[in-house]
Structure 1
Amino acid sequence: MKSRDRSSFNRFSFNHATAKFWDQREAVEACARAGAGIGLWREPLQEAGVDATAKLVKDAGVEVTSLCRAGFFTDPTPESIADNRRAIDEAATVGAPTLVLVSGGIPAGGTIDSAREGVAEALSLLAPYALERGVTLAIEPLHPMFASDRCVVATLAEALDLAAPFPAEAVGVVVDTYHIWWDPQVWQGIARAGAEGRIASFQFADWVTPLPAGVLTGRGQLGDGCIDFRRYLAEVDATGFTGPIEVELFNDALWARPGPEVFAETKAAFERVIAP
């Protein structure tokens, strides 16, 4: 697989969720032509076949920057742990260094405290296997509006505290601008994550106002909202992190458009928001 120039402009990675209904092969081929990386998702990966996808990205010379997603283990069960182990295997097979984890919400009869304890328990069961397979589990804090039903981890500080008992090669964190831009301690969190070597994934999406009715699918195109991407780039770069920057947009309007059009628009927007 080709190594990529790590200047800011050439760190662009297209998360497949940005054009959710675009054929995975076509998305990989577009990334190959543009010299971009790709963030893969488990559903299209499984549909196409894990081994077939591994061959596709290898033959295309496209860097897989992450696999999304696993987690949802605030009430760990043998079934959920087994599925997360399968996700680790999938990431290893396609060459994704990072498996993104969304922890899950509050299970029936539980509390936010017990749910966070469940996350810690699940990590203790999965981290050794991830380390063995050469995959970093990346805890993604989500905006607190998702705490009840999707993710009880809302800040980088929480994510880092959960990661702390494990080697950085096994458990890291996701710096996703959409979810953490509101946090007054975000810059300290980024500095801490860098100092601990735990920035496993760096993702861009914008926050637009007013929020669309479907909040989950209302991530804004870069530059359409209020997030200062240049500062995020500077703060993360200051930690020494030089990895790819994924653009991951859940947006119904984008999903209704042709994939090649969305790809071109997203790459151009990325270049604009990081330009000096």
Structure 2
Amino acid sequence: MSADTVISLNLATTRPQWGFAEAVDGCLRAGITAISPWRDQIEAIGLDEAARIVKANKLQVTGVCRGGMFPGVDAADRQKRIDDNLRAIDQAAALNADCLVLVVGGLPGSSRDLPGARQQVTDGIAAMLPHAKASGVKIAIEPLHPMYAADRACVNTVDQALDICEKLGETVGVALDVYHIWWDPNLANAIARAGRMKRIFAHHICDWLVPTKDMLLDRGMMGDGVIDLKAIRKMIEEAGFHGPQEVEIFSQDNWWKRPGDEVLQVIKERVATVC
């Protein structure tokens, strides 16, 4: 870890241990000054109070998680989802977040139309863009591992996300989460493409355990799995992104059961040694 490496804590990493305010206090004790909260955590404390805490402690908010989930079974359903994304933009703007992260959604209802779902994603982002631009909020599509294509995200590679970015303009970029992209045989070229487009808005880190007991809730601490974190970081930095390393770990049987302060100390040690 270089001396200027900034760690951001995605607040999912300590979700069971801490709410928004407690997580900020824990970060400050650990010397971490960047966070990425989830919308339910913001709503639990109230947007005004969350914004006050961020401002009072001069925190960088590397992202707000999450918007998205665009595909719907009919026009009314799709509009409801767009309206929710407009509220997410307001939350991100109030926290002066670097971006609003999108988990775009999967197949609606009983649909088998994957290309159609991806088109609904593009249309949904396009519908929220005027408000995002007016609010000064960048939109970061997070491609998810293909195992989530049906239910969580029909955008599964960096290239697929960048194809949407090219259609919609510079306000839309990507959040690169190593858990979801490490397997991609075209990853180096895709990250280089994102760099040329200047569309890398966030870099999320954790590790892929072998075996993985739960595909959602068994992420590993950096260094405990098989992801070549240094190689991916090198690709991302060579592409021009030198922002915080955002640690996002869902771990129901391990890290969620440990004291939050311990988790943060291990994060600092691992970022210094394996990232």
TM-score bracket relative to the smaller structure: over 0.9
| Shift, 1:26, TM fit | 1.9
Look up the SS of the partner of 2:5 in the other structure.
Answer: helix
Partner of 2:267: 266
Q: Which residue of 2 aligns with 1:257?
A: 258
Matches of 2:244 and 2:156 in 1, distance apart? 23
1:8–1:108 CA distance, 2 compared to 1 (3 A): farther
Deviations 1:67-116 (A, max 9, x none): 00110012262211111000000000011121000011101242111111
| Residue of structure 1 in register with 2:28 after alignment | 32
Tell me the secondary structure at the aligned position of residue 10 of structure 1. coil
Q: What's the counterpart of residue 220 of structure 1?
A: 220
8 Å CA contact 2:104–2:141 kept in 1: the answer is yes
* Structure 2 portions without partners, runs of 5+: none
Check whether the contact 1:19–1:259 (CA below 8 A) recurs between aligned residues: yes
The CA distance in 2 between the partners of 1:191 and 1:146, in whole Å, is 25
Q: What letter is aligned with 2:233?
A: L
CA distance in 2, matches of 1:127, 1:161: 16
Divergent runs of 4+, >4 A: 6-9
Q: Which residue of 2 aligns with 1:143?
A: 145
In the aligned structure 2, how far is the partner of 1:8 from the partner of 1:204? Answer: 18
Tell me if structure 2 keeps the 8 A contact 1:190–1:235. yes
* CA distance in 2: counterparts of 1:9 and 1:256, whole angstroms: 30
Which residue among 10, 17, 20 is the counterpart of 1:15? Answer: 10
Q: Give the superposed CA RMSD.
A: 1.5
User: What residue number does 1:243 align with?
Assistant: 243
Aligned length: 267
Q: Amino acid of the residue matched to residue 96 of structure 2? A: G
Question: How does the TM-score come out when normalised to structure 1?
Answer: 0.93
Task: Give the SS at the match of 1:227.
Answer: coil
- Comparing 195-204 and 17-26, the one that deviates more: 17-26
Q: Distance in 2 between matches of 1:87 and 1:222?
A: 29
Q: Distance in 1 between matches of 2:125 and 2:61?
A: 23
Provide Cα deviations, 1:47-83, integer angstroms capped at 9, x if missing partner.
Answer: 1001100000111121111100110012262211111
Does the residue aligned with 2:211 lie in a helix, a strand or coil?
coil
Residue ranges of structure 1 left out of the alignment (5+ in a row): 1-5
Cα-to-partner distance string for 1:205-261 (whole Å, 9 max, x where unaligned)? 10111111x210011110001111111111111112111110101111211222111
Map 1:202-221 → 2, pairs under 5 A: 202-212=203-213, 214-221=214-221
- Matched AA of 1:90: Q
Q: Percent identity?
A: 41
Residue 35 (structure 1) shift: 3.6
1:180 aligns with 2:175: no
Specify the alignment match of 1:128 in structure 2: 130
Corresponding residue for residue 158 of structure 1: 160
Aligned to 1:3: none
